[in-house]
Amino acid sequence: MRPSSWSDAPEVSLKNTAWLKTLWPYLMEYKGRVLLAALCLIGAKLASVSVPFLLKYLVDGLSTSSDESISLNDVWMWFPLGLLLAYGSARLMTILLGEIRDVLFGRVTERAMRRMALKVFRHLHDLSLDFHLSRQTGALQRDIERGTNGISFLMRFVIFNILPTFFELLLVMGLLLYNYPPWFALITLIAVIAYVMYTAKVTEWRTMYVRKAHQMDSKTHARALDSLLNYETVKYFSAEEREAKDYDDSLWQWEQARRKNRLTLFALNSGQAFIISLAMTLMLCLSAYYVLQGEMTIGDFTLMNAFMFQLFLPLSFLGFVYREVKASLASIEQMLGLLKQESSVKDSGTASFSGDKTQIEFKHLAFNYQPERPILKGLSFTIKAGQRVAVVGSSGAGKSTLTKLLFRFYDRTEGDILINNQSIYQYSLASLREHIGIVPQDTVLFNDTLKNNILYAAPHASDDDINRVITMAQLDFFIDQCPDGLETIVGERGLKLSGGEKQRLSIARMLLKRPAIMVFDEATSSLDSRTEKNINQAIRDVSAGHTSLIIAHRLSTIIDADNIVVLDDGIVVEQGKHQELLAQQGYYFQLWQAQEDNAPTHH
């Protein structure tokens, strides 16, 4: 389940203008296009309103001329013909100007979607590790997708449908009030107010079902994605039926939410249809009465009929737009909620990293993930420039936490980390991370080629550089066996490779970066003894002269380290060279003895 801090959308209100403030700069980016689109909109609405009047004069003209014999040379013959041409032209302009408006504004909408999606994408990469550890990728992806689609809907329909519809309504009521008895405008006004109030009230009621359906959709999508990403684990435990049942439970909740959504939509559409039908019936009855009284013509009756269809068509569409705007706002609130998330790691430093000779000092360092469970408790030790320092200890001692703090995935609770006698919090994050390379314990690769995964460390590296690190990481034999060589696709998260192959690729990637500080977090844990020996020699060669931090589980791999730091329960209990620590017969000696006892015997 996603953290409540961002998964639960806040109550959506059309009065909330956060979305408008967010989108306004994108509108202003294409002022000329927006202005031309607005002019096309006004022209289309004026042409639309003129159609019923042209129809009235056409009907009246034909009714008059039907009582008389008119020759082709009679001037009255050309009057209805001109009206017919004007009527057809007005219809054409209504549609044509609307299409031109959509073409002009389409660029604005698409650019806004692109910019907003990029903004959210960059922001998600700027958030700290603790956010990403608690996220559900599938649900997050759906929230972003619906949010960008919601932006497109709001920009197109709020600006060019809702506002113009009210403009047309006011224009029509003004014309009715000016040309006909006030009852027509009054009925229209009452119908519009009743329609809008009913639509708003019922839509507010059903929005919670729309949001619930969205949440269930995200949950179902995330559940399926999570299960498919862990395909092997499902197979290991024969859990196909269990996964299917869990997925079906999520689908059942989605089905219930959709059912309630559909029932509320029926109530909304039925009420809207009743208001429209009642208003149109009253208007036509009143028109027929005035025709019978001789106060209005057949053309006027036709005009009222045309106006009612023309008036309530956008009004009916307004109901759809209002519903979709509510749904879009619910989606956009989710996405804007992501943008409101702040990283717990602040990039406030301005200093730039420089120099290859790099000293690292962990000074009284304390850290905890939860206040009740401290991980590091005032830890202190120094890695001098060019030294290879290994950190060992039992599981949970805080070894890997050191790398996360060094990269500033988290910020320390107390103490400091100094690089060249300057706090890492004074360096910019980009500069700091650019000069630190890591071979992580769990290597996750992109679903791309072997070459592109290696090049991720240095996109502009030459083929000679790639071949050099491939040889150093003992990858050449494996690549030679692949039919596609370096163009071999590694699969999602590198699942087509073995654990050892993934670690060797990770080592090659780090070697290609050649950073000032090298971190190896149990970098050879998935390798066989022979390959491990060769790669450790390669690591020693490439790290010569570079400051290196080695997180080690197998003590046999770090016996030649310049310094070995032994952690227990978040503090340094011993440090020194391998032989010195064995001679002390302390904690390191016990770890060594335990591994020696468990080592396989060779005959």
SS3 (DSSP) at 491: coil
Specify the amino acid at residue 81: L
Position 579 scores a pLDDT of 92
Q: Is the per-residue pLDDT at 487 higher than 80?
A: yes
- The highest-level CATH class for domain 360-598 is alpha beta
Rounded-to-5 percentages of helix, strand, coil across the chain = 65, 10, 25
Per-residue confidence (pLDDT) for residue 73, from 0 to 100? 47
Give pLDDT, residue 599. Answer: 55
Query: Of 143-157, 260-274, 363-377, 459-473, where does mean pLDDT reach its minimum?
Result: 143-157
Q: In this structure, are residues 82 and 141 in contact, taking their beta carbons and an 8 Å threshold?
A: no
Report the alpha-carbon distance of residue 331 to residue 325 in Å, rounded: 10
Spatial CB neighbours of 117, under 8 Å, sequence gap ≥ 6: 144, 148
Q: What is the pLDDT of residue 537?
A: 73
Per-residue DSSP letters for 558-583?
A: STT-SEEEEEETTEEEEEE-HHHHHH
Distance CA 114, CA 116 (A): 6
By the 8 A CB rule, do 371 and 96 touch? no
β-strand 563-568 against 571-576: which pairing, if any?
Answer: antiparallel
Contact of 154 with 22, CB cutoff 8 Å: no
Does 145 or 364 have the greater pLDDT score? Answer: 364
Q: How far, CA to CA in Å, does 415 sit from each of 362, 373, 397? A: 8, 17, 18
- Model confidence pLDDT, tens digit, residues 168-184: 788 888 888 888 888 88
- Which tens digits make up the pLDDT trace of 227-243? 887 887 888 778 888 88
Position 55 pLDDT exceeds 90: no
Q: Is the pTM of this model over 0.85?
A: no
CB atoms within 10 A of CB 118: 10
Residue 577 banded pLDDT, cuts 50, 70, 90 = very high
Query: What does R_g of the chain's alpha carbons equal in angstroms?
Result: 36
Instruction: Report the candidate in 471, 549, 545 with the shortest Cα–Cα distance to residue 504.
Output: 471
* Residues paired with 574 in a beta bridge: 566
β-sheet bridge partners, residue 354: none
Closest CA to 174 of 25, 220, 182, 573: 182
589 vs 35, which has greater pLDDT?
A: 589
pLDDT digits over 354-380, tens only?
A: 766 789 999 999 998 887 788 888 899
Quick one: CATH architecture of 18-340? Up-down Bundle (1.20)
Q: Band of the pLDDT at 576, cuts 50, 70, 90?
A: very high
Rounded mean pLDDT, 245-267:
85
- pLDDT at site 113: 78
Percent of the chain residues topping a pLDDT of 90: 7
Both tokens assigned to 281: 């019936």
Q: Residue 168: what pLDDT?
A: 79
Please give the Cα distance from 304 to 180 (Å, whole number). 10
Model confidence at 79, pLDDT cuts 50, 70, 90, reads low
Per the CB < 8 A criterion, the answer to whether 508 and 465 are in contact is: no
For CATH 1.20.1560.10, list the domain ranges present in the chain: 18-340
pLDDT at 339 over 80: no
pLDDT at site 475: 85
Band of the pLDDT at 456, cuts 50, 70, 90?
confident
What mean pLDDT do residues 47-51 have? 79
How does the average pLDDT of the chain come out, rounded? 79
How many residues in the chain? 603
Give Cβ neighbours of residue 363 (< 8 Å, ≥ 6 apart): 380, 415, 416, 417, 418
Residue 538 and residue 474 in contact, taking contact as beta carbons nearer than 8 Å:
yes
Q: Which of 37-41, 160-164, 567-571 has the lowest mean pLDDT?
A: 160-164
- Beta strands at 563-568 and 388-393: parallel, antiparallel or unpaired: parallel
Mean pLDDT of 542-559: 83
In angstroms, the CA 502 to CA 382 distance is 31
Percent of the chain at pLDDT exceeding 70: 86
Separation between Cα atoms, residue 213 and residue 259, nearest integer Å: 9
Sign of the Cα torsion 66, 71, 76, 78 reads: positive
User: For 239-276, what is the HEC assignment?
Assistant: CHHHHHHHHHHHHHHHHHHHHHHHHHHHHHHHHHHHHH
What's the mean pLDDT in 435-439?
87
* No. of helices (H) and no. of strands (E), the chain: 20, 10
**CA–CA distance, 102 with 300 (Å, rounded to integer):** 33
Q: Is the pLDDT of residue 76 over 50?
A: no
Please state the φ and ψ torsions of residue 225, each to the nearest 5 degrees: -65, -45
Please state whether 294 falls in left (phi above 0), alpha (psi between -120 and 50) or beta: left
**Is residue 206 classed exposed, middle or buried when 0-12, 13-18 and 19+ CB atoms within 10 A define those classes?**
buried
Q: Using 50, 70 and 90 to split pLDDT, how confident is the model at 565?
A: very high
Neighbours of 21 (CB within 10 A): 9
- pLDDT by residue (tens digit) across 12-28? 444 456 666 777 777 77
10 has pLDDT over 60: no
Mean pLDDT of 526-536: 69
Name the pLDDT band for 267 (thresholds 50, 70, 90).
confident
pLDDT: which is higher, 519 or 214? 519
- Residue 527 is predicted with a pLDDT of 65
- Residue 69 pLDDT greater than 60, yes or no: no
Give, as one character, the DSSP assignment of residue 367.
Answer: E
Question: Can you read off the two tokens belonging to residue 250?
Answer: 């999520």
Q: Give the residue, 180 or 64, on which the prediction is more confident.
A: 180
Inform me whether the pLDDT recorded for 539 exceeds 80. no
Give the DSSP H/E element, type plus range, for residue 378: strand 373-383
Comparison of pLDDT for 388 and 153, the residue scoring more: 388
pLDDT attached to residue 249: 87
Q: What average pLDDT does this structure show over 435-443?
A: 84
Residues of the chain with CATH 3.40.50.300: 360-598
Q: Which residue in 555, 537, 565 sits closest to 598, CA to CA? A: 555
> Under a CB-based contact definition with an 8 Å cutoff, are residues 250 and 215 in contact?
no
Whether the Cβ atoms of residue 478 and residue 504 lie closer than 8 Å to each other: yes
User: What whole-number distance in Å separates Cα of residue 77 and Cα of residue 66?
Assistant: 11
Is the CB of residue 512 less than 8 Å from the CB of residue 458? yes
| 562/239: higher pLDDT | 562
For residues 206 and 257, the answer to whether their CB atoms sit within 8 Å is no
CB 111 within 8 A of CB 26: yes
75 pLDDT higher than 50: no
Q: Is the pLDDT assigned to residue 137 strictly greater than 80?
A: no
